[in-house]
Structure 1
């Protein structure tokens, strides 16, 4: 999969996503999004983090943290140099004292040497661990990790860990989701897309910039056209309704024990159905039977199908 825009260039097949304890329902969705060219291209061409107020605050916090760590390190280095100077001075004094001591007499013990400065922690903490959560920023960062496009990403690692994403999502978007508990992938996707749209709407856009803030909804949203034909006067009533996913019935029908494939399920979805006598026609005002038929008026770049097996 490749993208022509943005600074990241082409994207390779994504790495696996580490399971953090029954988070496979999340991983399945994240992997599907990572392999959706339209979403990757949109994030490459117009990265959300450039205009995100939360990302700006997180960057300032990380920069301040880095400066504090740098000052702390310099202070420790100066302290270490002072300790070394004192130890050298004590050794010189001890040597002079030893040379002036009468033969056969033991010299007095000098002061105990100071303990060496504490070593730095072996593994540096994740700089993004304490970031405020933004759904679009986290999805962008996750895609960079799984595709290996992030500058500090380790190319030899075959899996990407979504720890920060999972923690932030469960804390800010769906606090009723619990670690170690299997949740519904469809519910997770819907909540994630809504959170991404909220992030997009909160972006700071200048007058000079031209950004479509209906993204990312427009990548997933289409419209269904429903036509109802009255059996009495043959008048047709048409409506257009938005959808973000289509629920398809894949249960076996007739003597067939196998689940229906997607093509057959879509044919069921657009098949005409009879309405009972309770239908009231808007044209003639009569109660009677009617025929309803649905069709996909517009299809989004990323079509989400919810397969109903039961």
Structure 2
């Protein structure tokens, strides 16, 4: 671990730094780029259980699953030494959230009164099913299911008599902070 790291246990940032130095060479000029020399990223592979309890060396794992667990490990390292009860708004200020994060806005709009209701969820990943889809936009449409807005949750729709007339559209949009 670098001397600047205050983490007393496993630190994903330190381990990844070690692997990056192995990959590009200590001079930082890409001395290993294009060479036939290989290396073992053992500082990562020997710590799979520290990244995620379910990861095991020699077992086939999904690359996306490993990436997600690695991003979570980076976030834990970035928050090391801080109060675990920090508000989410503060946790979202790490370099991890700046690089990988975003907010998913879900908007329910009442078709009778047209009143929108928004909720925002912090995300580091968004999984979408791209099978049989012509574009990412088409795949994102799967996140937009129709939902029923019952009378008691329909703001300003007191005159509506049946819930089928209150059909709402759930719209989700992603917002990435730079």
TM-score above 0.5 = yes
Aligned to 2:45: 166
- Preserved CA contact (<8 Å) 1:201 1:213: no
Aligned to 1:247: 127
Aligned to 2:86: none
| Higher helix fraction (1 or 2) | 1
Distance 1:232 1:213, change over 3 A: closer
Distance 1:51 1:225, change over 3 A: same
Distance 1:234 1:176, change over 3 A: closer
Instruction: Please point out which of 194, 199, 222 is paired with 2:72.
Output: 194
In 2, Cα distance between equivalents of 1:227 and 1:240 = 9
CA RMSD in angstroms, aligned pairs only: 3.3
TM-score, normalised to structure 1, is 0.44
Distance 1:263 1:197, change over 3 A: same
Displacement of 1:141 in angstroms is 1.6
> Where does the alignment leave 5 or more consecutive residues of structure 2 unmatched?
83-91
Q: What are the superposed Cα offsets for residues 104-142 of structure 1, whole Å, 9 maximum, x if unpaired?
A: xxxxxxxxxxxxxxxxxxxxxxxxxxxx63211011121
In 1, Cα distance between equivalents of 2:151 and 2:66 = 36
TM-score, normalised to structure 2, is 0.70
Aligned to 1:281: 153
Considering only CA atoms, is the larger Rg found in Structure 1 or Structure 2? Answer: 1
Q: What are the superposed Cα offsets for residues 52-85 of structure 1, whole Å, 9 maximum, x if unpaired?
A: 124xx7xxxxxxxxxxxxxxxxxxxxxxxxxxxx
> Where does the alignment leave 5 or more consecutive residues of structure 1 unmatched?
1-47, 58-131, 205-211, 253-258, 302-310
SS of equivalent residue, structure 1 residue 233 = coil
Aligned pairs (5 A) from 1:147-166: 147-148=24-25, 150-151=26-27, 155=32, 156-166=35-45
Aligned to 1:238: 118
Q: What are the superposed Cα offsets for residues 172-202 of structure 1, whole Å, 9 maximum, x if unpaired?
A: 2334322221122232222211211222222
Distance 1:291 1:183, change over 3 A: same
In 2, Cα distance between equivalents of 1:277 and 1:175 = 40
Displacement of 1:166 in angstroms is 0.5
Displacement of 1:151 in angstroms is 4.2
In 1, Cα distance between equivalents of 2:14 and 2:59 = 25
Q: Which runs of 4+ in 1 moved over 6 A?
A: none
SS of equivalent residue, structure 1 residue 249 = coil
Aligned pairs (5 A) from 1:4-19: none
Aligned to 2:168: 290
